[in-house]
Amino acid sequence: MAGTIKKLLDGRYRAQYTSGSGPSRIRHTKTITSRRLAQTWLLDQEQANRSGNMRMIRNCYFVDYFKTWYKLFKAPIVSAATKITYKLTYQHMKALISTVKLVQLNRTLLQSVFNQLGQLYSKETCRKHAIQVKACLANAQYDGLIQRNLMHGVVVTGNEEHSRNDNNKYLSGDDFLKIRNYLFKRSYGPKDANYLILAIISATGARVGEIIGLKWEDVDAKRHQLRIQRSYDSAARKIKTTKTVNAVRTIPLVDDAVRLLCSWHDNVKWGTDFIFASNEKRLPKASNVNSAFHTLQRHLGIEAIHSPHTLRHTVASLLVARPELDVTYVSRLLGHSNPAITQRYYLRVLPGEHQKEDAVALNTIAL
């Protein structure tokens, strides 16, 4: 309570309540016959002040509320890459509803906003916007600014022309083998860290940042195991924790991956704990790994439309396609937060590998 009570010489009580801060600070004072009445007056003042503040917030523009919420609750904890997605959400909201107040929001208006976004951007982009707007409104609901989360029931669509189809998300089985065979058979010198990172990704399905952040202590050559326990954020240029708690994991390594890492250790190691640090002790940038992968695709006669993350998607799909591997195990191997994520993204057939299924389907229909 932003108030005080003082007993006066004549036996009465002076209650003082302060609202606002800085130059706009206002002190309210009242002399009352009993302490109990003074306390009641202070509570009334506080309630009135809180109601006034809530009215002021409800009447602010939603984009301003979103920006403030992001800075307070999200900016201190999310990665540099995720910050970019929040800023994009803010920019898109500002472009469409810059003058709409929080109190004026309703489901119809939000559905109209996401219908417009769905015509311009991919469904994945719109989905991220929806998640962030919904989280922001959940905060407003928790604080009593709105009665319910207005994003409930809002349908999110996307422009298929801007959506990445499976041909972009996954390599065909033949192209994946071509890339992996090349990476496993080539020799690696001091300037080839980006290609060795690609080789390890193709052998583990790990994230790019997880491989860049590896230290020699994470490699158990005797047991053919790799321990993932940190990641490198190229945008912020710093080591950070893994994406989720479950992303801390141990991955089995194939013989070729162990051989390449051991050779790199014996011939190229720069005297630093990090496997892929340069002689200046700098870690590779994810963008440079991406450029190297595009160069490799062109070299092998593959259309250069895939990112290194495509290797992870492809490995994941190959694992999920194996009936003897439980999806829970695959989820743990990939470092997903839960098996539902694995099923959602990878429970599908690889491009170029569906001919047998087509034949079975036609024979079934023919019966």
The 3-state DSSP class for residue 190 equals coil
Going by C-alpha positions, the residue among 34, 55, 38 that lies closest to residue 1 is 38
**10-residue stretch averages of pLDDT, the chain, 367 residues long:** 81 83 73 86 72 72 92 87 91 94 94 94 92 94 88 90 62 92 93 95 94 96 94 86 87 94 87 86 91 95 92 88 85 86 65 52 52
Pairing of strands 238-240, 231-233: antiparallel
CB contact burial 190-204 (16+ within 10 A = b; e otherwise): eebbbbbbbbbbbbb
* Confidence (pLDDT) at 1: 47
- Does 286 reside within a domain? yes
What value, to the nearest 5°, has the Cα angle with vertex 234 and ends 229 and 236?
A: 100
**DSSP class of 282:** P
Mark whether 202 and 312 lie in a shared domain: yes
Do 69 and 38 share a structural domain? no
Q: Count up the domains in the chain and report the number.
A: 3
Domain boundary among 103, 138, 162: 162
> Domain check: are 210 and 304 in the same one?
yes
Query: Where is the domain boundary, 16, 39, 55?
Result: 55
Query: Does residue 225 sit in the same domain as residue 338?
Result: yes
Q: What is the pLDDT of residue 349?
A: 46
364 in a structural domain: no
Same domain, 203 and 253: yes
Domain shared by 137 and 171, yes or no: no
**Dist CA 297 CA 299 (whole Å):** 5
Q: What secondary structure, in 3-state letters, does 261-281 show?
A: HHHHHHHCCCCCCECCCCCCC
- 208 lies in the same domain as 324: yes
Q: For residues 152 and 244, state if they share a domain.
A: no
- How much is the pLDDT for 336? 87
**Which residue reads 């590998």 in tokens?**
353
Residue 38 lies in domain: 3-55
* CATH number, position 187: 1.10.443.10
- The pTM of the full predicted model, rounded to 2 decimals, is 0.64
Residue 359 lies in a domain: no
Does 208 reside within a domain? yes
